[in-house]
């Protein structure tokens, strides 16, 4: 009984002492440190001031001078086997020069035969006349002479049709270099083109020929000297059955063209599409477009603010601002 009365209090005391001393064995919890203070980074912008001035939208490109007066040569009445081409590209030719000839085949033999036949019927007529033949026989012999003449003239025309002669003065600007002697040539097959080197116009064939209108004024620059030009033909002005060469180009007539300009020489052209004067202009790269909304970023009191704008004339590098920006405001580029 004595042992049981004092045992429980002793155990409780020992356990209490153990708890008190055991807590000192656990590591002490460290205090949380305050985060370091960060100074805000200063934001810098690349800006440009909105300016007032003129803006012009143009089409610029390069054109080539070609002859206004040019002509293709081809066989109209008949085709045949090519015998010879007598000219080369770049040759100067005169009216009447022989350009191309076909083989005559048996035409020359037929001509000789018909010439002999004509002599024969004439002899017959003269013989009848000397013998005081009847008017009937003389008329019949006279008809034979006329028929022989007609046959001979027909054969001579056929021989002429195997030759192409130039009916103009000029320069050979094109020839079908694929043709070789013996090749078959059809009727209306273009073989040679001859052009007048003195009558020239400027041709432009860029991707935006549809922007050119008939009689539109064009600035033409030749050797750093400016000339006035006028549009005289556009692809849309050429009829369906018109010259195929004109269906992809803009033709420009140049006023006071220098005499030393030659075929094949180039010139720079400029066509004004839109112009606006004394207006607000900003770099085109500054105008943002999002879901149809156009806006610019403006630097105001050090802050980047968006501003909706209305755009007018635009070029490759600049945009006209009709509404939303005032002259001198700082436009953020990036």
pLDDT in tens, 91-136: 999 999 999 999 987 888 888 999 999 999 999 999 988 988 899 9
Q: Is residue 23 part of a domain?
A: no
Place of tokens 């002793």: 10
Residue 65, exposed/middle/buried by CB under 10 A (0-12, 13-18, 19+)? buried
Contact 52, 327 (CB under 8 A): yes
Q: Is residue 13 part of a domain?
A: no
Residues constituting the chain = 334
What does the block give as tokens for 56?
Answer: 């012009």
Could you please report the per-residue DSSP string of 54-110?
EEEEEEEEEEEEEESSEEEE--SS--EEEEEE---TT-EE-TT-EEEEE--TTHHHH
> Could you say which DSSP state residue 242 is in?
S
The rounded percent of the chain whose pLDDT value lies above 90 is 60
Q: What is the pLDDT of residue 56?
A: 93
Q: Is the pLDDT of residue 20 over 60?
A: no
pLDDT band at 252 (very low <50, low <70, confident <90, very high): very high
Phi, psi for 48 (deg, rounded to 5): -145, 145
Q: Is residue 4 part of a domain?
A: no
Q: What is the pLDDT of residue 247?
A: 83
**Residues 94 and 172 both lie in one domain:** yes
**Residues 92 and 179 both lie in one domain:** yes
Q: List the alpha helices (DSSP H) in the chain.
A: 2-22, 107-130, 135-160
Q: How far is CA 233 from the centre of its chain?
A: 15
Q: Is residue 299 part of a domain?
A: yes
**What average pLDDT does the structure give for the chain?**
87
Quick count: other Cβ atoms within 10 Å of Cβ 42? 6
Q: Is residue 242 part of a domain?
A: yes
**Residues 256 and 201 both lie in one domain:** yes
**Residues 98 and 156 both lie in one domain:** yes
pLDDT band at 173 (very low <50, low <70, confident <90, very high): confident
Phi, psi for 152 (deg, rounded to 5): -65, -45
* CA nearest to 273, candidates 216, 324, 215: 216
**pTM of the full structure:** 0.59
Mean pLDDT of 191-214: 90
**Residues 163 and 298 both lie in one domain:** no
**Residues 262 and 281 both lie in one domain:** no
The pLDDT tens digits for 289-326 are 999 899 999 999 889 999 999 999 999 899 999 999 99
Residue 156, exposed/middle/buried by CB under 10 A (0-12, 13-18, 19+)? middle
**Residues 204 and 215 both lie in one domain:** yes
Torsion of CA 233, 235, 239, 242, to 10 degrees: 80
Q: Give how many domains the chain has, as a whole number.
A: 3
**Residues 172 and 263 both lie in one domain:** no
CA 306, CA 50: separation in Å to the nearest integer? Answer: 15
**In which domain, by residue range, is 88 found?**
79-185
**Residues 207 and 281 both lie in one domain:** no
Q: Is residue 255 part of a domain?
A: yes
**Residues 152 and 170 both lie in one domain:** yes
Q: Is the pLDDT of residue 233 over 70?
A: yes
Q: Is residue 10 part of a domain?
A: no
Q: What is the pLDDT of residue 2?
A: 45
* CA nearest to 252, candidates 199, 203, 212: 203
């Amino acid at each position: 009984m004595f042992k049981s009365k004092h045992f429980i209090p002793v155990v409780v005391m020992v356990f209490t002492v153990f708890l008190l001393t055991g807590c000192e064995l656990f590591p002490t919890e460290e205090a949380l440190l305050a985060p370091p203070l960060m100074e805000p980074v200063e934001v810098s912008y690349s800006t440009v001031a909105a300016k007032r001035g003129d803006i012009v939208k143009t089409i610029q490109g390069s054109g080539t001078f070609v002859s206004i007066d040019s002509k293709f040569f081809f066989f109209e009445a008949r085709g045949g086997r090519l015998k010879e081409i007598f000219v080369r590209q770049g040759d100067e030719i005169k009216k009447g020069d022989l350009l191309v000839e076909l083989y005559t085949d048996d035409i020359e033999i037929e001509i000789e035969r018909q010439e002999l036949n004509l002599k024969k019927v004439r002899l017959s007529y003269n013989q009848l006349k000397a013998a005081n033949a009847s008017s009937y026989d003389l008329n019949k012999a006279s008809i034979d002479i006329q028929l022989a003449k007609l046959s001979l003239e027909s054969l001579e025309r056929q021989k002429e049709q195997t030759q192409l002669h130039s009916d103009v003065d000029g320069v050979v600007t094109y020839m079908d270099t694929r043709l070789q002697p013996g090749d078959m040539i059809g009727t209306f097959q273009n073989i040679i083109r001859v052009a007048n080197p003195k009558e020239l116009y400027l041709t432009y064939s860029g991707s935006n020929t549809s922007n050119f209108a008939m009689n539109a004024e064009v600035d033409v620059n030749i050797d750093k000297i400016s000339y006035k030009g006028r549009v005289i033909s556009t692809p849309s002005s050429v009829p369906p059955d018109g010259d195929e060469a004109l269906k992809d180009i803009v033709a420009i007539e140049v006023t006071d063209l220098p005499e030393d300009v030659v075929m094949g020489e180039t010139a720079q052209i400029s066509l004004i599409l839109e112009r606006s004067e004394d207006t607000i202009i900003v770099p085109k790269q500054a105008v943002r477009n999002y879901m149809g909304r156009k806006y610019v970023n403006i630097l105001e009191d050090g802050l980047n603010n968006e501003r909706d704008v209305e755009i007018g004339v635009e070029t490759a590098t600049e945009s006209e601002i009709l509404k939303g920006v005032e002259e001198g405001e700082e436009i953020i580029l990036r």
